[in-house]
Homo-oligomer: A and B are copies of this chain.
């Protein structure tokens, strides 16, 4: 049985608590948080002076709070890991063996923990600690990838393009349809299928649309329909990038 201490009760913390509680061979020995929260029989405590002994201390706090929170626990020679995509392990208090346990997934109140596929990007300061993080992933039934800080930064950047920016494109589509009294729901199955397609095809090979076909008539029609200059420029930029990709 591996004992975990979880620090933080935001979306990441809550999802990890649920994951741990639903897996065998893992036990939450303590759930630390300034704010009150609970899941099944587990309750948070804000008593940072009585820290119980755990095999791994998992910091699920905001990027800016990692350093401070890790000092507050006042631990020595323990395996402490954060869950941030952008930070190095050395933002954690250096009295300890440090590491990163970064879940490459988006967590919200709405999504169901058990239905989420969560690829884990793991890194440790000392080689011998890697086995423990791998065991933890195995117990949680999560796929893992050993990723150092340089690569994790790149992954984080790629995720911003493929996810944050995609979501903003959905948002633009939502605004365009709403303004014209069209039900946004009509677009949802296509959005789903576009994301599904890359499971089978490389994105470049899955590309469709007027820019891919170099259909100048449709492209000009679309540019005439767009009244917002930012969206017009975005349309032109993507059209050019997709056309350039065709030439390769």
Contacts and interface: CB of A to CB of B under 8 A. Distances in A.
A169 B238 CA distance: 9
Given A188-B198, A193-B116, A203-B170, A222 B176 contact: no
Question: What size tier do the contact residues of chain A reach?
Answer: 35 or more
A191 B200 contact: no
Nearest to A158: B173
B155 A166 contact: no
Given A106-B197, A155-B182, A218-B86, A238 B191 contact: no
A1 interface: no
How many subunits of this chain does the assembly comprise? Answer: 2
A100 B181 CA distance: 20
A44 to B, nearest CB: 24
B164 A197 contact: no
A240 B229 CA distance: 13
A241 B147 contact: no
Interface in A171-212: 171-174, 176-177, 180-183, 185-204, 206-212
Contact of A193 (B105, B188, B191, B238): B105
A9 B156 CA distance: 42
Q: What is the predominant secondary structure among interface residues of chain A facing chain B?
A: helix
B151 A242 contact: no
A233 interface: yes
| Central interface residue in A119, A170, A240, by most chain B CB within 10 Å | A170
Contact of A163 (B183, B194, B202, B241): B194
Given A155-B182, A158-B176, A192-B195, A200 B110 contact: yes
Contacts of A237: 230, 233-234, 237
Given A170-B198, A200-B110, A189 B118 contact: yes
A156 B215 CA distance: 13
The 4 closest A-B pairs by CB, nearest first: A164-B209, A195-B195, A162-B173, A117-B189
Given A110-B197, A157-B225, A163-B194, 9 more contacts: A86-B221, A106-B208, A110-B200, A119-B185, A153-B221, A161-B172, A163-B209, A195-B196, A234-B241
